Amino acid sequence: MLVTDDVLLDGRDVVDVARRAVAGGVTSVQLRLKQAAPRELVRLARLLREALPVPVLVNDRPDVAAAAGCGVHLGPEDLPVPLARSVLPAGTLIGTSVGTAREVERALAEEGADYWGIGPWRGTSTKADAGAAIGAEGFAGIVAQAGGRPCVAIGAVRPEDVAAVLGAGGPAWRWFRGSWRTRT
């Protein structure tokens, strides 16, 4: 999963970056642009949805996801998954973030998320409220509670972490910060 970021994009075209990532094997894209206005998010989400052969999700914004015909990724402070599910079209892809015992309890009680984003794997500078790093051991512990749903490692995952993510039971990981360093 490629997760876009205002800072890491550094002026690059989000659709071009996403196309390149998908060509390199990324299987989904999460549009996370905290500074963008809702209309701009809808416009970009629609462009991504039309340009890419993989699922596109909007970070934190079920309203934008619905308007753009995309999925949504919800954090612990966002709309609860069941409420989002009730206002989004049937079959909409919904993910949720978990990284603490309380967040696991919430996700299990709410039900309905198609996948869990588990982390942060390590401390991250792109999301100040991400919480304490959980690493491979914490990730594996949460994967074991996920009831078989897909789990994505989030939060400063680096190329050298991929084997540990897979070894801990994660079928996927978020595109890591180091992947943004090369400008092409």
Write out the DSSP string of 99-164: -SHHHHHHHHHH---SEEEE--SS--SS-TTS-S--HHHHHHHHHTTSTT--EEE-SS--GGGHHH
DSSP 54: S
Distance separating alpha carbons of residues 136 and 120, to the nearest angstrom: 10
Q: Exposed/middle/buried for 72, CB within 10 Å: 0-12, 13-18, 19+?
A: buried
Task: Judge whether residue 123 has pLDDT over 80.
Answer: no
Task: Output the furthest CA–CA distance in the chain (Å, rounded).
Answer: 44
Q: What would the two tokens of residue 127 be?
A: 């999301």
In this predicted model, what pLDDT tens digit does every residue of 13-46 receive, in sequence order? 999 999 999 998 888 999 999 889 999 999 999 9
CATH code, domain with 73? 3.20.20.70
The residues facing 183 across adjacent strands are none
Task: Judge whether residue 88 has pLDDT over 70.
Answer: yes
Q: What would the two tokens of residue 166 be?
A: 């897979």
Q: What would the two tokens of residue 12 be?
A: 């690059």
Distances (CA, A) of 158 to 48, 61, 177: 24, 27, 7
Task: Judge whether residue 182 has pLDDT over 70.
Answer: no
The residues facing 58 across adjacent strands are 31, 72
In this predicted model, what pLDDT tens digit does every residue of 2-17 receive, in sequence order? 888 877 777 889 999 9
Domain count, the chain: 1
pTM (2 d.p.)? 0.88
55 alpha-carbon distance from chain centroid: 11
Please provide residue 139's backbone torsions phi and psi, each rounded to the nearest 5 degrees.
-60, -50
Distances (CA, A) of 90 to 20, 27, 111: 30, 21, 15
What confidence category does residue 180 fall into, taking pLDDT thresholds of 50, 70 and 90? very low
Q: What is the mean pLDDT of residues 124-137?
A: 76
Residue 53: asked if its preceding bond is cis (omega within 30°), the reply is no
Q: What is the mean pLDDT of residues 85-104?
A: 96
Structural domain including 106 reads 2-180
Query: What is residue 126's predicted lDDT score, i.e. its pLDDT?
Result: 63
